[in-house]
Amino acid sequence: MDRFVSHFTARLDAKGRVSIPAAFRAVLARDGYEGLFLHPSLDSRALDAGGNGLLKEIDGLIANLAPFSDEKDHFSTALYGLSEVLKVDPEGRVQLTESLKSHAKIADAVSFVGLGHKFRIWEPESFRAHLEDARRRVKDLKAELGGGHRPGSEQGVRER
């Protein structure tokens, strides 16, 4: 698997370190990125994390903005200027900095949530609230799009 999938919750140890889930470490290893690239999420109280896949996405986004524009400066500042590269120790742990923990309101536990090419690190209660909101929005979108049923089918079952 070359994507970050699923979600995991872990506690920070007494030194403030947390173990990256083994499945996520495997994706990072295949990606070839040394360490863990993180930045405060632009739209939530969470941290976006990953390796080369995440950096390529950011590079592509910024490259498509007009040179010397305010937009390019703002995105560069938010995505590069506030980013951090954390060292992953031999046991697969990272130590989140105070600025990262403050942004995500992390105290003693985190939830790692796979998003394909990257993952998010949430304070667990914040993730639960986000997940409930996401499920509600997907349900609303599904209803708006017609419930996802294909013409000629009866809720996925066809008579023969």
Instruction: Note the pLDDT tens digit of each residue in 6-65.
Output: 999 999 999 999 999 999 999 999 999 889 999 999 999 999 999 999 999 999 999 999
Asked if pLDDT for residue 158 goes beyond 70, the answer is no
CATH number of 7-144: 3.40.1550.20
Task: Give residue-wise pLDDT tens across range 49-85.
Answer: 999 999 999 999 999 999 999 999 999 999 999 999 9
Mean pLDDT of the region 89-109: 97
- Domain extent listing, the chain: 7-144
Residue 151 confidence (pLDDT): 54
pLDDT attached to residue 100 = 96
- Model confidence pLDDT, tens digit, residues 111-143: 999 999 999 999 999 999 999 999 999 999 999
Please identify which residue in the block is written with the tokens 């009866």.
Answer: 154
Residue 147: per-residue pLDDT: 64
Distance CA 8, CA 23 (A): 10
pLDDT of residue 152: 52
Which pLDDT does position 157 carry in this prediction?
A: 45
Say which residue the tokens 């500042």 belong to: 77
Maximum CA pair distance of the chain? Answer: 63
Whether the per-residue pLDDT at 156 is higher than 90: the answer is no
Strand ranges (E), the chain: 7-11, 17-19, 36-40, 47-50, 84-86, 93-95, 109-114, 119-122
Whether residue 159 is predicted with pLDDT greater than 80 in this model: the reply is no
Q: What is the pLDDT of residue 143?
A: 92
Average pLDDT, the chain: 92
